[in-house]
Amino acid sequence: MSEIELHRKLLGDHARNDAFETALRRRIVPGKSRVLDIGAGTGFLSFLARRLGAAHSTLIEYSDALELAEQLARRNRIDGLSFVKAHSSEWRRKLQVDIVVTETLGNYALEENFLETAVDARRFLVAGGIIIPGRLQQFVAPVPSPRLQAEIDIWPKVGFDLDLAPARTISLNNMYVRNIEPTDLGDTNRTARLWDDLDVRPSVRAPASARRKTVSWTTADIPGGRVEGYALWWQAELIEGVSLSTSPFAAATHWQQIYLPLLQAHDLQAGDSLELTLGSDTRPEAGVRVSWKSRQSRGGKTVAEQSLDSLRGQL
Residue 97 lies in a domain: yes
Residue 74's CATH number: 3.40.50.150
The confidence score (pLDDT) of residue 315 equals 85
CA distance 290 to 95: 34
Which of 265, 255, 14 is CA-nearest to residue 142?
265
Residue 271: count other Cβ atoms within 10 Å of its Cβ.
Answer: 11
Do residue 252 and residue 295 come from a single domain?
A: yes
Residue 213 lies in a domain: yes
Do residue 270 and residue 160 come from a single domain?
A: yes
Q: Which domain holds residue 277?
A: 136-313
In this prediction, the residues of the chain whose per-residue pLDDT falls under 70 are 1
Residue 126 lies in a domain: no
Residue 295's CATH number: 2.70.160.11
Strand partners, 306: 294
Do residue 241 and residue 302 come from a single domain?
A: yes
CA distance 49 to 37: 9
The confidence score (pLDDT) of residue 244 equals 98
Residue 87 lies in a domain: yes
Do residue 96 and residue 140 come from a single domain?
A: no
Sign of dihedral through CA atoms 262, 264, 265, 270? negative
Among 49, 82, 103, the domain-final residue is 103
Residue 129 lies in a domain: no
Do residue 272 and residue 143 come from a single domain?
A: yes
The confidence score (pLDDT) of residue 88 equals 95
**Total number of domains in the chain:** 2
Do residue 284 and residue 191 come from a single domain?
A: yes
Do residue 193 and residue 265 come from a single domain?
A: yes
Residue 188 lies in a domain: yes
Do residue 162 and residue 308 come from a single domain?
A: yes
Helix, strand, coil shares, percent, the chain, to 5: 30, 35, 35
Which of 195, 188, 174 is CA-nearest to residue 144?
188
Pairing of strands 193-199, 301-309: unpaired
The confidence score (pLDDT) of residue 1 equals 66
